[in-house]
Structure 1
Amino acid sequence: MLEVDQLVMSYGGFRAVDNCSLSVTEGSITGLIGPNGAGKTTLFNLVAGAFPPSSGRIRYLGEDITGLSTDRRFHLGLVRTFQIPHEFHRLTVMENLMMVPPHQAGETLLANWLTFGKVRRNEEEVRQRAEETLAFLELEHVAEERAGNLSGGQKKLLELGRTMMTDARLVLLDEPAAGVNRTLLRKLEEKIAILNKERGYTFILIEHDMEMIEKLCHPVICMAEGRVLIEGDFATVRADERVLEAYLGETVGAA
């Protein structure tokens, strides 16, 4: 589904991503781990199109997307979330969801005057989809709350909900467990698993919470110094001496 081939991202003489190659199989939840500074988020930025790589290629669904803009990748179903949620904090939770779907009938002033009925029907369809998304995420009780007032865990669920309001096929999740209490973290894990198994979403998951990685991810890829060290199941990756050395004493699950 996704192929990253010899990707490089240089800042002056420093290579944040250094000849990185990996692939993601459709229908998988791929875990991406590694110590801070390993290049994981930079890799996400390259795949999502935040900036172009210094060299290398990115292929998605068989198409070379290396030169495509972020919005073009979004319309192809490649969507990312952020470690720090990017909600519109003054809008309600419902409004945050309803504004996501592209090409809505009411996006132009003229359409609101000339095709009011079409705009109204489209808005009702989007609202119904948003209501269904909130029900799935168990956030109906905060539908009219301003998004900026949500807890960290609720914001992460809202970010996941915003990907559901698109035609996402591949979702890049950047540290979804960060700032989330254990109760909401278990709920977040449950929703990701359902979206993967029952609704066909493919995920790449950057995460330092090894319990979450162990529960959800296969395969697991460990990066260090901008490169892939090893790929395999969680137990194999966790036990690899190169992985333990890369973390330099940081906690890696039971290791």
Structure 2
Amino acid sequence: MSSDAVISVHDVSKRFGGLMAVKNCSLSVERGSITGLIGPNGAGKSTLFNMVAGNFAPTSGKIIFDGQDITGLKPHQLFKLGMLRTFQIAHEFSNMTALENLMMVPGDQPGESLGTLWFRPSIARAREIEVKQKALDVIDFLKLGHVKDELAGNLSGGQKKLLELGRTMMVDAKVVLLDEVAAGVNKTLLNDLAANIERMNSELGYTFFVIEHDMDLIARLCDPVIVMAQGEVIAKGTMEELRANPMIVEAYFGGPVEAVQ
């Protein structure tokens, strides 16, 4: 494991009844990287990803995040530590505007306290102004200004994915877990989405851990790429290196090298 790994997975396994979905997996996500996780259906990648995200607790092994043991912690606990996840199907508040969706993200806002609203309203107002400005900055960064006052439920699939990405920027996440970000997104908006992920990584220093079936997107964004098969990590490298490895091609694609080109 690297000394600069922000996520370290140590000998993690997950059993569902008689099925061992993940077997003694170890991997790391380097701080400042965009790390991809790929594998065929049934490889265990979604199960492993869900354990890192706090949706499943490992049967054995441990997961370290930014130096802290987070094994078994829930998603809301990981949120407070700076690990956020986007979903294959966007989870927007449909009847709120895009701007309001972003403003909902930061926790422990003074305006949520009835006592503060009554007795110290200036504090609540000042924080609301601060949060709104942050949301406007995020909308500007993502080039969503033309839909900031549109109900989120009316946005396109790609715009909803951009909005989810924006949510992670509202709390300056240490790591963003991207779950099938390309699903349901047209090519034009997917290019915008990928460009924003690259900008967040290069300009703002965000670390991403990506699970994705779109190999072109993985090749564009991710270095390194981790490959799983039959519940185990079998390789790690650049997409170019993996495509050139006949053993990996056979394990992942069950076919000749041409299948991944």
Q: With structure 1 as the length reference, what TM-score do the two structures score?
A: 0.95
Distance in 2, matches of 1:227 and 1:38, equals: 7
Match for residue 149 of structure 1 among 147, 154, 177: 154
Q: Offset at 1:229?
A: 1.3
Q: Which amino acid aligns with 1:155?
A: K
In the alignment, structure 1 residue 89 sits paired with structure 2 residue 102: no
Question: 1:163 pairs with 157, 168, 171, which one?
Answer: 168
One-letter amino acid matched to 1:248: G
Contact 2:40 2:253 in 1 (8 A): yes
Unaligned regions of 5+ residues in structure 2, if any? 1-5
One of 194, 203, 225 as aligned partner of 2:230: 225
Decide whether the 8 Å contact of 1:94 with 1:143 is kept in 2.
yes
User: Hey, what does 1:247 align to over in structure 2?
Assistant: 253
Q: Which of the residues 200, 206, 230 maps onto 1:195? A: 200
Cα shift readout 1:4-40 (whole Å, capped 9, x = no counterpart): 0111111101122221110111010001111122222
Which residue of structure 2 aligns with residue 49 of structure 1?
Answer: 54
Cα distance in 2 for residues equivalent to 1:252 and 1:115 = 66
Distance in structure 2 (CA, Å) of the matches to 1:169 and 1:252: 37
Match of 1:186 among 177, 184, 191: 191
Following superposition, the deviation at residue 253 of structure 1 comes to 6.8
Looking at structure 2, the residues matched to 92 and 158 of structure 1 have their Cα atoms a distance apart, in angstroms, of 11
Aligned-pair CA distance for 1:69: 2.8
Q: Distance in 2 between matches of 1:128 and 1:145?
A: 17
Aligned to 1:25: 30
Gaps of 5+ in 1: none
Partner amino acid for 2:253?
Answer: Y
Identity, in percent, stands at: 55
Q: Is the 8 A contact 1:210 1:252 kept in 2?
A: no
For 1:51, the aligned partner's letter is: F
Question: d(CA) in 2 for partners of 1:192 and 1:159?
Answer: 12
Contact 1:58 1:66 in 2 (8 A): yes
User: What is the CA–CA distance in structure 1 between the aligned matches of 2:173 and 2:257, rounded to whole Å?
Assistant: 33
Q: C-alpha separation between the residues in 2 aligned to 1:70 and 1:32?
A: 20
- What SS class does the counterpart of residue 196 from structure 2 fall into? helix
Indicate conservation of the 8 Å contact 1:229/1:242, yes or no. Answer: no
Write the letter of the residue equivalent to 1:183: T
The structural deviation recorded for 1:142 is 0.9
1:119 counterpart letter in structure 2: A
How many residues align? The count is 255
Are 2:8 and 1:8 aligned? no
**Is this contact kept in 2: 1:211–1:253, CA < 8 A?**
no
Using structure 2 for the length normalisation, give the TM-score.
0.93
The alpha-carbon deviation at position 223 of structure 1 amounts to: 1.0
| Aligned equivalents of 2:214, 2:198: Cα separation in 1 | 16
Deviation at 1:52, TM superposition (A): 1.1
Q: Is the Cα contact below 8 Å between 1:81 and 1:159 reproduced in 2?
A: yes
**Is the contact made by 1:85 and 1:156 (CA closer than 8 Å) also made in structure 2?**
yes
- When residues 252 and 97 of structure 1 are mapped into structure 2, their CA distance, relative to the original with a 3 A threshold, is farther
How far apart are residue 254 of structure 1 and its match? 4.1
User: Aligned partners of 2:85 and 2:259: how far apart in 1?
Assistant: 26
1:209 maps to 2:214: yes
Q: In structure 2, the residue corresponding to 1:9 is in which secondary structure?
A: strand
